[in-house]
Amino acid sequence: MGEGTSDYTKNMVDLRRHMWMAGVEVELRRLIWQIATVGKYISAKIHESNRKLAGFQNVYGEEQLDLDRISDEILKSQLQFSGFVREYASEELEDIVKIGSGKEKYIVTADPLDGSSLVDTNLAIGTIIGIHKESVLDTGRNTMVAALYITYGPLITMVYSAGNGAHEFVLNREGEYLLSQEKIKLKEKGSIFSPGGLRRDWTPAHLKFVEQLEKDGYKLRYSGGFVPDINQVLIKGGGLFTYPALRKSPQGKLRLLFELQPMAFIMEQAGGRATNGKEDILALKVESVNQRSPVYIGSTKEVRMAAQFLSQ
């Protein structure tokens, strides 16, 4: 924290003040703030929700909840009038949509409510956001300038990075996001792992890798929600989340643009790594909004170990 901030004021650093002190440029500060504010509206909808299926399916053929569609509409309309966003891509939409005049600075990608199938069980779910300056498709390199995710659990927390480290905020009763952890750092080696997919569908190499983690005493932590499962690795300071290539789905389940790249951006800012088992997630070319990828994300030792097993 900046020089001269007392213990009291240090704990009173809210999101806007933090971004200003971290030198985040003004339009990006305002955009991140507006998106974080949407988290409050989405949370209110979760509390009001009837948790009923909307009777629609998304582009992946997955049942959409009212909540999925409502969260997407809330986010899109907030961004539409922000003055900072020219295009919006969402897991709930068929393709990228123009929402500004075309002169705005940013393109936003969103998984508005990831893990929504868990909402009836009262498990934590989340919102995942990527903020890009240039096109998100076919660039062959990552164009993200910031990423954030919001976790709707016992507390509402928000983790963001604008290339200045990864920082966590807690939403208080007054509706302010107050800094709780700054410049979060992952240890080189963790002690938990979060293995997605069914064991019977894993490839032999991935199975051998997981068996080694079990032999090495890693504790299994898996809720079925990407956001809380990733958040656990970050906040516990290390470990590994993986949703691997499966026998019948060599690209795994998770979406490269909407889920993996924003989380890879944040994890790398915390000193971690994210690969598809071989190449960095942020180096992968996004050729379509629906593209999926296997993922190994978290502490560098475990990500490196996965690559060793997968190359055998």
Note whether 129 and 149 are within 8 A (CB).
Answer: yes
Residue (117 or 143) nearer to ligand AFP, CB: 117
Contact 252, 197 (CB under 8 A): yes
Q: Which of 168, 229 has the CB closer to ligand AFP?
A: 229
Q: How far is the CB of 102 from ligand AFP (least distance, A)?
A: 31
Q: DSSP per residue over 178-226, as a string?
A: EEEESS----SS-SEEEE-S-GGGB-HHHHHHHHHHHHTTPEE---S-H
CB of 270 to ligand AFP, least distance (A): 19
Structure tokens at 5: 């901030």
Residue 175 CB, nearest distance to ligand AFP (Å)?
Answer: 26
Q: Which is nearer to ligand AFP, 82 or 151 (CB)?
A: 151
Instruction: Answer positive or negative: Cα dihedral of 289, 293, 261, 224.
Output: positive
Nearest CA-CA partner of 228 in 157, 125, 127: 125
In the complex, what is the shortest distance from the CB of residue 82 to ligand AFP, in angstroms, rounded to a whole number?
Answer: 25
* Site residues, ligand AFP (CB under 6 A): 62, 114-118, 196-197, 224-226, 243, 253
Instruction: Compare residues 126 and 271 and give the one whose CB is closer to ligand AFP.
Output: 126
Distance in Å, CB of 167 to ligand AFP, minimum: 23
Helix axes 66-80, 26-48, angle to 10 degrees: 150
Nearer to ligand AFP, 100 or 196 (CB): 196
